[in-house]
Amino acid sequence: KNEVEQSPQNLTAQEGEFITINCSYSVGISALHWLQQHPGGGIVSLFMLSSGKKKHGRLIATINIQEKHSSLHITASHPRDSAVYICHLSRSYNTDKLIFGTGTRLQVFP
Amino acid sequence: KAGVTQTPRYLIKTRGQQVTLSCSPISGHRSVSWYQQTPGQGLQFLFEYFSETQRNKGNFPGRFSGRQFSNSRSEMNVSTLELGDSALYLCASSASDGRINEQFFGPGTRLTVL
């Protein structure tokens, strides 16, 4: 069993729709991160979570430590949100070794 | 602060050659990690350097090596290149000050092995 699993793998949406991407993990973590990767490869860190919920603009990330589950929500989706979204786990405070999910490819059509 | 920079951005090599990639972290960041991204395997951790020492290592063959300099800049070397080494190589830096650290990624070096 993979240590981290994302769903769905692919997602298409119409502009304006509410998007949810899920990440489940099976190991102890110090933090969970959500990344956004646009075509061309550049990666941007969206959120780093160790508990609760964070909001940035139209993006909301939540984590439930007991259930080992996190969700990334995009409200009022826009074509510029089209990207691959990757969740990854920090296992320890003293090392930044990360475990990556396989990513969710999101396409938002106008 | 300037972001993480990687050079070169694109590289084409042939099988059997060796290659060196460079990463300059954000000023003040002491940890640099390297990742390989391929369509089939996704993002995979290569190794992490902290204060010029390799602190963690992923499951890659010995052909993949790295080092970190006193100014925290890091280089990654791949010897005896194989076709399967074609990938996007990303580095990321973090403060690694004992707290939960956000990683900041560079733009990547896209390596093509012919």
pLDDT in tens, B92-107: 998 866 666 778 899 9
Closest Cα of chain B to A22: distance in Å?
Answer: 17
* Count of pairs with CB atoms under 8 A, one residue in A, one in B: 65
Question: Is the torsion defined by CA of B5, B101, A91, A27 positive or negative?
Answer: negative
Confidence of residue A28 (pLDDT cuts 50, 70, 90): confident
* Tokens describing residue B23: 């990463």
Element (H, E) at B33: strand B31-38
Nearest to A23 by CA among A5, A43, A49: A5
Q: Is the pLDDT of residue B2 over 90?
A: no
pLDDT of amino acid B96: 67
Residue of A41, A50, A98 with shortest CB distance to B45: A98
C-alpha dist (Å) from residue A62 to A51, A70, A84, B103: 8, 5, 18, 19
What is the rounded distance in angstroms from the CA atom of residue A74 to the CA atom of residue A18?
Answer: 6
* Chain B interface mutation, best of A96, A97, A99, A102, highest count of B Cβ atoms under 10 Å: A96
Is residue B5 within 8 angstroms of chain A, CB to CB? no
